[in-house]
Amino acid sequence: DIQMTQSPPSLSASLGDKVTITCQASQNINKYIAWYQQKPGKAPRLLIRYTSTLESGTPSRFSGSGSGRDYSFSISNVESEDIASYYCLQYDNLWTFGGGTKLELK
Amino acid sequence: QVQLKETGPDLVQLTQTLSITCTVSGFSLTTYNVHWVRQPPGKGLEWMGAMWNGGGTDYNSAFKSRLSISRDTSKSQVFLKMNSLQTDDTAKYFCARQLGGAFAYWGQGTLVTVSS
Residue A34: list chain B partners with CB under 8 A.
101-103
Q: Which of A2, A28, A51, A36 is CA-nearest to residue B37? A: A36
Distance from the B35 Cα atom to the nearest Cα atom in chain A, whole angstroms: 10
Residue B101: list chain A partners with CB under 8 A.
32, 34, 49-50, 91
The count of other CB atoms within 10 Å of the CB of residue A1 is 10
pLDDT at B29: 98
Q: What is the pLDDT of residues A71-85, one digit of tens each?
A: 999 999 999 999 999
Distance from the A15 Cα atom to the nearest Cα atom in chain B, whole angstroms: 25
Compute the average pLDDT of residues A91-98: 98
Q: What is the pLDDT of residues B40-78, one digit of tens each?
A: 999 999 999 999 999 999 999 999 789 999 999 999 999
pLDDT at B64: 75
| pLDDT bracket for residue B28 (50, 70, 90) | very high
Measured at the CA of A28, the angle between CA A64 and CA B35, to 5 degrees, comes to: 75
Q: What is the pLDDT of residues A12-49, one digit of tens each?
A: 999 999 999 999 999 999 999 999 999 999 999 999 99
Q: Are B61 and A1 an interchain contact pair (Cβ–Cβ within 8 Å)?
A: yes
A10 touches chain B (CB under 8 A): no
